[in-house]
């Protein structure tokens, strides 16, 4: 039986932009394992093609490192691939037995990072571990180009038919929101909204005006949000457990709290537009679903955030600030309205 193990001890967005590469490579093996973090475990564990998903608890790193070193010491695989660039993942890669080993190594600025990378490369060359460089944020922001989804596809050199597709997410069995298809937009609210001009004072009135103007339902989704702008919103807030189709049909604006990922996935499948201030999992899931996706960002973040996106057919960036100006929440909502008119 041919066995492979992947390492993805990072965030949900990180897994999503390499998900199709992992899926296509895994098709060549009988038994597929992956080490996930507590941040991406739920999604990864829902992907049925994995035989075994190991959860690494990032909140107790020191204990987990010792546990995982002991667990995987001299374990045998046909292939092992590290995507996350973590030190613990590369250490385990050295300690397991595998015919083929591959890792992505981050290039970072600074002399000590350069020296550390040289030592790692020396060891990997001795143990015949294949690697590819990937550029870290500090260098990208110094004007070095990188695109993570494209870089991961370099594995086609070893595995062949890795298509240009970036995402592979298996459909859930949830169909609860299909009756509302294209009748609403979603705006996902989190901490990245707090620095938008006028958000605390004007958002409540602005979102009501926007809904009447756009002539679609507006569903605001959020998780454990306790920011001032959110608490001042007067539209009804409903916990996911108390949501039903009638409430959705009879609401022009509804705030849905703590919706689990599988239900959010189906809701996003049926929305006309998905909007967020670059919530990674929200943005990448929306793009994977081929939905019009609006990403509200600071212009100063553009180069870094562009690193994560290669499919731009349905992806639109609008700015909440540029070099000399902060956009008011009314202006941002108007940008969204103008994009809706193009559909």
Predicted confidence (pLDDT) per residue in 110-137, tens digit:
999 999 999 999 999 999 999 999 999 9
Number of residues in the chain? 343
Q: If we measure between CA atoms, which residue out of 85, 208, 92 comes closest to residue 135?
A: 85
Q: How much of the chain exceeds pLDDT 90, in percent?
A: 91
In this predicted structure, what is the pLDDT of residue 267? 96
Top CATH class of 3-159 equals alpha beta
Q: List, in sequence order, every residue forming a beta bridge with 134; answer none if it has no partner.
A: 106
- Characterize the bridge pairing of strands 52-56 and 76-82: unpaired
Average pLDDT rounded to a whole number, residues 260-268: 94
- Angstrom CA distances, 338 to 43, 202, 210, 270, 273, stand at 33, 20, 11, 20, 12
pLDDT range class, residue 37, cuts 50, 70, 90: very high
pTM of the model: 0.92
In this predicted structure, what is the pLDDT of residue 61? 87
Strand order in the sheet with 217-222: 237-239, 253-257, 217-222, 184-189, 273-276, 292-298, 315-321
pLDDT range class, residue 71, cuts 50, 70, 90: very high
Helix (H, G, I), strand (E, B) or coil at 182: coil
In this predicted structure, what is the pLDDT of residue 44? 95
Domains of the chain, by residue range, sit at: 3-159, 178-341
Give CA–CA dist 93/79, Å, rounded.
10
- Across the chain, mean pLDDT equals 95
Average pLDDT rounded to a whole number, residues 100-114: 94
In this predicted structure, what is the pLDDT of residue 162? 82
Under CATH, what is the fold of the domain 178-341?
Rossmann fold (3.40.50)
Assess whether the region 3-159 and the region 178-341 belong to the same CATH fold. Answer: yes
Is 137 buried (19+), middle (13-18) or exposed (0-12) by CB count in 10 A?
middle
Give CA–CA dist 109/113, Å, rounded.
7
In this predicted structure, what is the pLDDT of residue 164? 82
Q: How much of the chain exceeds pLDDT 70, in percent?
A: 100
Predicted confidence (pLDDT) per residue in 163-202, tens digit:
788 999 988 889 999 999 999 999 999 999 999 999 999 9
DSSP secondary structure string for all residues of 66-105: HHHHHHHTT-EEEEEEE-S--HHHHHHHHHSEEEEEEEEE
């Amino acid at each position: 039986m041919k066995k492979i193990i992947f390492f993805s001890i990072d965030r949900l967005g990180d897994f999503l932009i390499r998900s199709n590469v992992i899926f296509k490579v895994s098709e060549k093996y009988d038994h597929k394992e992956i080490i996930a973090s507590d941040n991406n475990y739920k999604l990864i564990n829902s992907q049925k093609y994995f035989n075994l998903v190991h959860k690494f608890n990032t909140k107790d790193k020191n204990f987990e490192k010792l546990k995982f070193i002991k667990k995987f010491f001299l374990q045998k695989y046909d292939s092992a691939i590290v995507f996350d660039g973590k030190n613990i993942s590369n250490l385990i890669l050295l300690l397991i037995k595998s015919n083929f080993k591959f890792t992505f190594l981050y290039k970072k600025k600074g002399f000590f990072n350069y020296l550390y990378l040289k030592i790692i490369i020396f060891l990997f060359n001795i143990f015949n571990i294949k690697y590819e460089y990937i550029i870290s944020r500090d260098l990208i922001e110094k004007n070095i180009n990188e695109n993570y989804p494209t870089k991961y596809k370099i594995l086609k050199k070893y595995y062949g038919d890795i298509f240009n597709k970036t995402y592979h997410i298996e459909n859930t069995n949830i169909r609860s929101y299909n009756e509302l298809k294209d009748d609403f937009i979603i705006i996902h609210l989190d901490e990245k909204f707090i620095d938008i001009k006028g958000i605390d004072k004007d958002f409540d009135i602005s979102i009501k005006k926007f809904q009447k103007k756009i002539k679609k339902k507006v569903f605001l989704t959020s998780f454990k949000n306790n920011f001032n702008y959110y608490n001042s919103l007067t539209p009804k807030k409903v916990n996911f457990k108390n949501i039903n189709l009638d409430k959705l049909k009879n609401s022009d604006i509804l705030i849905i709290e703590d919706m689990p990922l599988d239900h959010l996935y189906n809701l996003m499948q049926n929305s006309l537009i998905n909007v967020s201030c670059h919530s990674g999992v929200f943005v990448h899931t929306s793009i994977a679903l081929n939905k019009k996706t609006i990403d509200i960002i600071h212009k100063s973040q553009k180069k870094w955030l562009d690193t994560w996106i290669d499919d731009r057919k349905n992806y639109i960036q609008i700015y909440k600030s540029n070099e000399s100006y902060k956009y008011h929440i009314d202006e941002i909502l108007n940008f969204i309205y103008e994009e809706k008119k193009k559909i």
